[in-house]
Chain A
Amino acid sequence: MENVGIVGIGWYGFSTNVHDLSFREMMFEAAQRAFYDAGGMNPREQIDAFISCQEDFWEGISISDEFAPDPVGGSMRPTMTVAGDGLQGLAHGFMLINSGVADVVVVESHAKPSDILTFPEIVELAMDPVYVREAKIPNYHFIAGLDATKFMHRTGVTREDLAEVVIKNRASGLKTGRAPHASMLSKEDVLSQEMIVYPLTRVDVARPVDGAIVVVLASETFARKFNDTPIWITGIGFSTDNSNLELAKLGDAFYLRKASELAFGMAKLESPLKVNGMFVDDRYSYKELQHVEALGVNNVAEKLREGYFHEGSYLPVNPKGGHLAKGYPLEASGLSLVLDAVEYMREGVSSAVVASWRGIPTFTGGVAVLQR
Chain B
Amino acid sequence: MSWDKHGKEDELLTWKDVMEVERYVYTVGPDSEAFLRGLREGKILGRKCPRCGRVYVPPRLYCEDCFLENGEYVEVKEPYLDSFTTIYFDNREKRLDEPITVGLVRFKEATGGLLAIVQGIPEIGKKVEILEYSIPLRVRA
Which residues of chain A have a CB within 8 Å of any CB of chain B? 19-21, 28-29, 32-33, 60, 120-121, 125, 129-132, 134-135, 137-140, 142, 145-150, 153, 194-199, 242, 244-247, 250-251
Q: Which 6 A-B pairs have the closest CB atoms?
A: A145-B85, A120-B91, A150-B83, A135-B136, A138-B90, A198-B86
Closest chain-A Cβ to B99's Cβ sits at a distance in Å of 8
What are the interface flags for B64-103 relative to A under an 8 Å C-beta threshold, 1 for contact and 0 otherwise?
1000000000000000001111111111110010001011
Q: A135-B102, A147-B83 are in contact. List 8 more A-B contacts (CB 8 A).
A: A130-B135, A131-B115, A139-B90, A146-B102, A149-B83, A195-B86, A197-B87, A250-B104
Q: Are A250 and B2 in contact (CB under 8 A)?
A: no
Tell me if B91 and A140 are in contact (CB < 8 A): yes
- The answer, yes or no, to whether B108 is at the interface (CB within 8 Å) is no
Q: Are A250 and B86 in contact (CB under 8 A)?
A: no
CB–CB A139/B89 < 8 A: yes
C-alpha gap A149/B6 in the complex (Å): 47
Residues on B with beta carbons closer than 8 Å to the beta carbon of A29? 1-2
Residues of chain A within 8 A of B17, CB atoms compared: 60
CB atoms of B1 and A32 under 8 A apart: yes
B58 pairs with A246, CB closer than 8 A: yes
Contact B1 A246 (CB under 8 A): no
Q: Are B85 and A196 in contact (CB under 8 A)?
A: no
Q: Given A29-B2, A146-B84, A251-B83, A131 and B89 touching (CB < 8 A)?
A: no
**Number of A-B residue pairs with CB-CB distance less than 8 Å in the complex they form:** 111
CA distance A197 to B101 in the complex (A): 9
Question: Which of B6, B7, B136 is in CB contact (< 8 Å) with A137?
Answer: B136
Distance A74 CA – B53 CA, assembled complex (angstroms): 51
**Does A153 contact B124, Cβ atoms closer than 8 Å?**
yes
Closest to A194 in B: B88
Task: Say if the beta carbon of B23 comes within 8 Å of chain A.
Answer: no
A197 touches B115 (CB 8 A): no
How far is A195 from B95 in the complex, measured between Cα atoms in Å? Answer: 10
How far, in Å, is B72 (CB) from chain A's closest CB? 19
Which residues of chain A are near B2, meaning CB under 8 Å?
Answer: 28-29, 32
Chain A residues, CB < 8 A from B57: 246
A247/B111 in contact, CB under 8 A: yes
Name which residue of chain B comes closest to A61, CB basis.
B19
Q: Which of A19, A138, A250 contacts B83 (CB 8 A)?
A: A250
Complex: how many Å from CA A21 to CA B21? 26
A-B contact pairs, 17 of them (CB 8 A): A20-B5, A28-B2, A29-B2, A33-B1, A129-B26, A135-B135, A135-B136, A146-B83, A146-B84, A146-B102, A149-B84, A150-B82, A195-B88, A196-B87, A198-B87, A198-B88, A246-B112
Shortest distance in angstroms between A58's beta carbon and chain B's nearest beta carbon? 11
Contacts of A142 in B (CB 8 A): 85, 87, 102
Q: Which residue of A has the minimal Cβ distance to B88?
A: A195
On whether A196 and B26 interact (CB within 8 A), knowing A131-B58, A246-B57, A246-B58, the answer reads no
Which residues of chain A come closer than 8 Å to B9, judged between CB atoms? 19
Cβ-neighbour of B85 out of A60, A134, A146 (below 8 A)? A146
Contact with B96, one of A33, A120, A138 (Cβ below 8 angstroms): A138
Cα distance A132–B112 in the bound complex, in angstroms? 13
Interface residues of B in 5-23 (CB under 8 A from A): 5-7, 9, 12, 17, 19, 21
Report B95-126 CB contacts with A as 1/0, cut-off 8 Å: 01000101110000001111100000000100
* Chain B residues whose C-beta falls within 8 Å of the C-beta of A195 in the assembled complex: 86, 88
Bound: A241/B112 CA distance, A: 13
Known: A130-B28, A246-B112. A137 touches B87 (CB 8 A): yes
| Chain B contacts for A250, CB-based, 8 A | 82-83, 104
* Of the residues A32, A134, A138, A150, contact of B91 by C-beta under 8 Å: A138
A130 near B32: Cβ-Cβ < 8 Å: yes
Find out whether the CB atom of A120 lies under 8 angstroms from the CB atom of B83. no
Contacts of B92 in A (CB 8 A): 120
Separation in Å of the B46 CB from the closest CB of chain A? 11
Nearest-neighbor residue (CB-CB) of A144 within chain B: B85
